[in-house]
A and B are shown apart, each in its own frame.
Chain A
């Protein structure tokens, strides 16, 4: 079982019939020259990378984009329905939207999405803001996890101050039953993420970072030196999930690279998929543990 917990489907062909929206996606995400991808290509890519499931993450920045939603919860539901044996869908809401709580209720209650994705740096909020409490309570009510962007973001109009790992401690401490993922290993503050995971078992991370060098070189630095491999292999092995942040970063070479770092096979099994299943609270109904 190999799950990519961090995939942005903004350029999947079935949700890109509108050229204007596609252009907005290129500009907002600052990802260019990649075109759109038919699902057959996505499946080929998954096959080459050895991936069984992709967690698809939407982006809702509507209060900053004139009410437009970059990738909507409904589009994620559409994609999941097109390939329920391969896709797991997350929700997104804009915390500054007065209707955010109702939209999240709809995403979990009606659309049956599997978790919430938030980007404090792009959506300009601190994870400990009191205004966030209703969203956290809804996640707790439904038993759904939250993936937070943490660390550097390449997207324009992002401020890193909102997503430094230590900004999440208050949330982790005050909501011990809420599973949260500080994505991208909080790069470059990987040791702060390690500190939080050591202290708070409800804190997870993913490996969706490749800001320098090739996948093998970057992972060697981040996952064996910045954070010594023994820390992950011995102490944090139940809290690290594979994530690619595709299409920003490449899935195939990242999945290959993680296999070569020297982790115990049992640790690799956790990183590949078992931790993601725990984080999700189990695979969605009807999905098989391959």
Chain B
């Protein structure tokens, strides 16, 4: 059996880290699935899904680390008019940061619970905000 729901977010900042663990947990009972796997995947290419400990200091370290690896003022190729959009691409750093965090995470579901480590939280990472974003939560099992 497969069940899917979406989470919508209106991000407020250019780069922003949002813990969505509870929103993901809330979906599981509605699926009726007791045992299987849950997948959380963003629909976008300038956002990420990552799992980490929800601490302010770590969020800061992650932001600084990604900013150091992928600075804003580098001469990226993805800075040109895109005919398909009719607008200028200005978000290469968002694409590259998203590549590093990845776009999804998986967790096992056992006896109607998501099996997670005590320090693990699911983060939605905005790298080109503010924007209206959608995250798909897919649950497979029985």
Residues on A lying within 8 angstroms of B by beta carbon are 29-35, 37-38, 40-41, 44-45, 47-48, 154, 210-217, 247-250, 252-253
Contact = CB atoms under 8 A, between A and B. Distances in A.
B79 to A, nearest CB: 4
23 contacts: A30-B86, A31-B87, A32-B84, A33-B84, A33-B85, A34-B85, A34-B87, A38-B132, A41-B130, A44-B129, A44-B130, A47-B12, A48-B14, A154-B86, A210-B88, A211-B88, A214-B90, A217-B75, A247-B87, A248-B87, A249-B87, A250-B87, A250-B88
A212 B86 contact: no
Given A31-B86, A41-B130, A44-B130, A213 B79 contact: yes
A119 B10 CA distance: 33
The 4 A-B residue pairs with the shortest CB-CB distance in the complex, in nearest-first order: A44-B130, A214-B79, A30-B86, A31-B86
Contacts of A48: 12-14, 129-130
B64 interface: no
Contacts of A47: 12, 130
Contact of A32 (B12, B13, B76, B86): B86
B81 interface: yes
Nearest to B92: A214
A214 B131 CA distance: 19
B14 A252 contact: yes
Given A31-B85, A31-B86, A40-B10, A214 B132 contact: no
Contacts of A40: 10
A48 B13 CA distance: 6
B90 to A, nearest CB: 5
B11 interface: yes
A30 to B, nearest CB: 4
B68 interface: no
A38 B14 contact: no
A211 B87 CA distance: 8
Contacts of B26: none
Contacts of B86: 29-32, 154, 248
Nearest to B12: A44
Interface in B73-111: 73, 75-76, 79-81, 84-88, 90
A211 B14 contact: no
Interface in B19-54: none
Nearest to A213: B79
Contacts of B88: 210-211, 248-250
